[in-house]
Chain A
Amino acid sequence: MASLVGSRVERKEDKKFLTGKGRYTADITLAHQTYAVFVRSPHARAQIKKVDTSKAEKAPGVVAIFTGKDLADDKIGGLIAGWKIVSEDGTDMKVPAHPALATESVNYVGDHVAVVIAETLADAKSAADMVKVDYKVLKAVVDTESAMDSEAIYKDIPKNLCYDWLLGDRAKTKEAFDSADKIIKIDLRNNRLIPNAMEPRASLGDYNSSTEEITLYTANQNPHLTRLVISAFNAVAPEHKFRVVAPDVGGGFGSKIYPYAEDVVIAWAAKKVERPVKWVAERTESFLSDCHGRDHVTHAELAVKSDGTVVGLKVDTIANLGGYASLFATVTPTYLYGPLVLGLYNIPAAYCNVKAVYTNTAPVDAYRGAGRPEATYMIERLMSKAAMELGMDQAEFRRKNFIKQFPHQQALVHNIDSGNYDAHLDKALEIADYKGFANRKSESESKGKLRGIGFSTYIEACGIAPSAAVGQLGAGVGLWESAQVRFNPTGNVQVFTGTHSHGQGHETTFAQLVTEQLGVPIENIEVIHGDTSKTQFGMGTYGSRSLAVGGVAIAKACEKLIEKGKKIAAHALEAAEGDIEFADGNFAIAGTDKTMNIAEVAFNAYVPHSYPEGLEPGFDENAFFDPMNFSFPAGTHICEVEVDPDTGVVEIVKYSAVDDFGKLINPMIVEGQVHGGIVHGVGQALLEGCQYDSNGQLITASYMDYAMPRADNVPSFDVDYAPTNPPHNPLGVKGCGEAGAIGAPPAVINAISNALGIKHIDMPATPENVWRAAQTATS
């Protein structure tokens, strides 16, 4: 059988998705189902004086109305922050209570106050309008930069400061700066983004009074963790009486990693009313209440020698957490950000200080790249500005400072196991026709356009993550992954993975992997995920981890099957186990033509009529894999833009990406991930900017005002690879899901800065902002 690894196998899941047969949470309708609508705060910050549901309870069709008091009476716990961060002064981070339905205060527009459950959605909506909440409106804290100087939102959290965290060595960094010839400084904002998964969040709770089990169907990337958290911390039901199903999920990008208040409330309410309860977010609710991403204000300085050698880096960031600390909110701007500020450069001394602040805005949590895009944007803008100020070539200045020897222990946390940065830079320079840029620039000038080229040589840490390492850094969980590979007696295979696919194509990639390992035809393999009652405990999908961690677990389970298959084949073929060899799906007695196909072995394993003592029936193995290290994808992205100085419109005319993801299992799927990631990054750089007004009202609460990237905003990308082998990963893979979103924003902004000859422009570089910058640049 020809190997499918490395082949552009068409996605097994596309037939159902492209023919409208995906089955999402909102598509599931259960008998006697009720409909929930959440009463949300119209204010960014207010005390709740009274919630009066009396009139609403009498409205037509109302089944029940619950408030925070009802949850408290049932001892339902609040939402948690899952990663403890310790401040530089040794104190623990400060986290406010986050009840699933607000009791004392509301802290962002869209905060959940009550839930109305009714026979129809229209009834629920009308009754929700009748719930009277008496608010004492307080002055909202909105702005990231001034949050520490504003009135404290929570009385026990002074300066609205969750933590003041330090990574690195201030003294050593100071020495490096003292030795430098030139200090390059930059002030920048990493704009707040709203995830906008195509499928809005949805939850459907179902209580079985016979088994006393709650089932929660939810649009989620991480069903086992959702079950664990809602069981252990919210105390809705014990884990063994709680099933979480994340069926087809239409995109997550991080915003569906964590359970939300609605999941807790819906699961609990289904038991209370003993009927299924369904909630599907409207798009406006998604804008208001999905966790947002990014939102940093950063001052950074780079210390360089006059020959272009970087000797030190200082980063001071204020990260906005929003109104509460969401599940992974505290780690995103610290351990997912701080270590990455060094980029793929050999910078011997550095520190990164992050002050995380609360504001009266939607909670901010992990979003495609989570911390790494913020780090990459900062260092790649700084490197570009440094090259500009030193008068050095953008590519060569970067190359001079690349890490060249591997493994490389960085000054902050990471030990980079593999890479060849010259290789992807060289290939990208060629694909981008860097040499021809000057000519193209002149051509643009003759048309009245300004042309610019921008570089981004990025690295990220993914394949999240070694449990021991993350445990040491404050994680509340281990980040291994699990797999079970089960042969059925007729020889087909079910692969149970603890990861979750919500657009990534696992059903195909993992099947290719199993085909490679076991020699089973791909059409005989089914990948199963997303149901805690079907699959063993797993840690879900995020941080480009599914193949790099979950794929290895699958491979290990396959290895166990092969080992067991050798025993069975030896018995059936009447040979010594040591004489059995396995290749291409067949067990053979070495040096003979006596073989047994793995499907026959499977059947034999379930019909063990003459098994000797010690040979266990069944052909079904599971495995767990805990990685030894993060994986470190890296690459060079080169963006070329043409700016219309009369309007400020930026057209991306050429975009070249050369990435090192290690070995590719399905290059077509990888390409799709790269394309999607770049579009995400272009969206951040040019279009997307979440804006609140000074009262904390979300101005960009619909697609009329929140600009998403579309096909006509991007060119056809030139994508290629320059792989290296990561010694820590048994499959030789690194992860690719977030790379585009990490690499693209600085490439785009560097290109615009280059076109206009300016030192900086903040994201999103909207036409008006670019037009204004062009005015200043030319005047």
Chain B
Amino acid sequence: MRITNGMIAGKYSRNLNSAISALDYYNNRATTLRRFDKVSEDPVSAAKAFRLRRAYFENDNFHNNTSNAENQMLTAETSMRAINTTVQEVATGDIMKAVTATSGLDERNIIAAKLRKTMESIVASANTQYGDKYIFGGSDAKKPPLTIAQDGTLLYRGVDVNTGKLVNEDGAIAKVGDFKISFGEDNGQSFNGYTINIINDPASPVAFGDAEIEVATNTITVNLPNGATGQDLQDALQSATIDGVLSVDVSKITVSGDLTKEAKVGTSAISDRVDLNELAKETVYIDLGLGLSVSADGNVNAQSAFNTSIPAISFLGYGMDANGNPKNIYSLLGEMATELEKENFSYERLTSLEDSLKTQSVDLLSSVTELGVRSNFLTTSKTRLEDATYNIKVQINETEYLDAAEAIMDFKLQEYIYNAALSMGSKVIQPSFLDFMR
């Protein structure tokens, strides 16, 4: 092949350029120790690196959540143990054995005062906070869960722990959209078990802006035109017609909330009571990386997350037992104290209450134990997450970073190649025939 001087020079300068760009590449690798800076250099590893980074962030979140939950559970455990200790003192009979069928009123008053002190300490412990959260409030951590009504009954989030009655409400209530509808204290329990339907239906027998109470089917139907507000809803209800016999004063029905807002269609049951069973089983989940699975309506798969909720009534008890005694420990202690303070007290009644308390205290103890198991699970989870984080870090290192020795070796080799190419330069640009012409 015929070779010209230009061809040699051109090829040499191209080769020198590729040698220096390789030098730049290896220099970059040796100084950053990264396998790649651009996804396009190694798309497969980059995809893996992205996934690992996400996993790292995620694990970090889980670890945070676990630590928080662990601390919260520890606080809860301390409070519950305190409650348990005071309750067991009464239940095991240490205090009560001083009372016999023939004990005098003064003697009994002293014991009663002791019981009332115990009751106070239970409420104080159950209203413990972790940070600014009330930990025994179930799904409401902002307000102290236990309060005492004026008549001395214990309320859990405004609900009578023995009956489930909404003590602070103005009679039976319903909630539709953003509005709360109170059916009036004076109307007693007349509306209990009714259902309220707010509709927007021009074809309905109930005209727009009217409400009808149908006694036969226990339904209240309110038909509202488009754009009707909360005020319109209240007006309709206060002028409701009654189909059947029901002695109520509809003018006592009130709607609360921002009455200028639009009233939306919807259905709600009307009741002055709350299902205590539901409240006691309330859950508040946090995500610990157990494969969180939540349905669109908010049902968390119990195995896929950790439940941090410990409603106070779940371990203090609620409702009434077969003997007609309250199941709630506070209420039991209260009734015992009241019985003791009575002039003509019944020892039999006291024993019956004491028996109930014993049963409840066993439940309380098992709740405390169960909490211990839950805390333990958190500790194991934390270890598991720490291990996982370490593994991810190792993998990130393997995927994204180079061995320093290897990187520097590569650089040195390329440096050698570049120097060799440079020294070749003066040899490549050779004198030509012309230099030798006379």
Decide if A and B are genuine partners.
no
Chain B residues engaging chain A, CB cutoff 8 angstroms = none
Chain A residues engaging chain B, CB cutoff 8 angstroms = none
